[in-house]
Amino acid sequence: MGVLVGPRKPEALQVGTDLLAWCQSHGIELLACGDLADRIGCPPLAEVDGRMVEPIDLLVVLGGDGTMLAAARLVGDQPTPVLGVNFGWLGYLTEYALAELFPTLELLRTGAYSIDHRMMIDIGLYREGERIESHTALNEAAINGAPARITKFDCFIDGSMVTTFRADGMIVATATGSTAYSLSAGGPIVHPAVPAILLTPICPHMLTNRPVVLPGASRIELVFPGVKDQLLMTIDGQRVIDLQSDDRVSIERSARTFRLVSPINHNYFHVLRTKLKWGGR
């Protein structure tokens, strides 16, 4: 079993120590990410370029949603389920409270849990016809232009021209990401079980440019002709990439899924009500 602690979470150190004691009492080896291994006295989780080298049975994440997005990158292609314990402000992806951690681990040992397979998207960056960047995202790929400057870009779906957007940028999100940056930009809430890709323009300069929900099998391409100002693409808030004029960005459904440990009695709308205060005045 592995454990990942979010940055600036000193209160999680004691939990890591308690988790190590629990693992030792149950004959389970605990591996920790980063300097947590030295701090609690357990072996480190082997990583190369921020990705796990070998699969583990479970990854426990102590942090917020940003730490869960880092966990998605850490897991990479490995089929490792992830259990999120909320140490953040919102904790939309980290469903479990601290008090639920050890009772939940006991349930996991008996098989009393469910795995929520979350759709992910693959992002490719092409420059002069050559693919120069490849990434996978759980929430979104967000493209932002220079502050207070409108960016013009063409959108293609499955090879067919859709329209030319004039906006501050574009968010291409999964259903999981529909309650993140996309929601803040006016996008719809989409149930995470729906295999969909969302196009959410950021501050569009045209009244007809509205968010669009596409089938998960769609291939989206964004092209940026004649760009002179700064243009950035951010992957899950973790990786920032500079874009240039005439770059082409492709987004499509990934073969990978993010395996999220969920309570058997998990109710998505309860999460909306409690985490996002959905329906509140």
pLDDT tens for 59-115 read 999 998 899 999 999 999 899 999 999 886 667 788 888 899 999 999 998 887 889
12-25 helix and 101-110 helix, angle to the nearest 10 degrees: 30
Question: Residue 84, by phi and psi: left (phi above 0), alpha (psi -120 to 50) or beta?
Answer: beta
CATH numbers and ranges of domains, the chain = 2-113+263-275 (3.40.50.10330), 120-255 (2.60.200.30)
Q: What is the pLDDT of residue 183?
A: 94
Catalytic residues, by residue number, are: 65
The pLDDT of 142-166, averaged and rounded, is: 93
Q: Which of 88, 84, 87, 64 is nearest to 75 (CA)?
A: 84
How many other β-carbons are positioned within 10 Å of the β-carbon of residue 176?
26
Q: What is the pLDDT of residue 281?
A: 59
pLDDT tens for 235-253 read 999 999 999 999 999 999 9
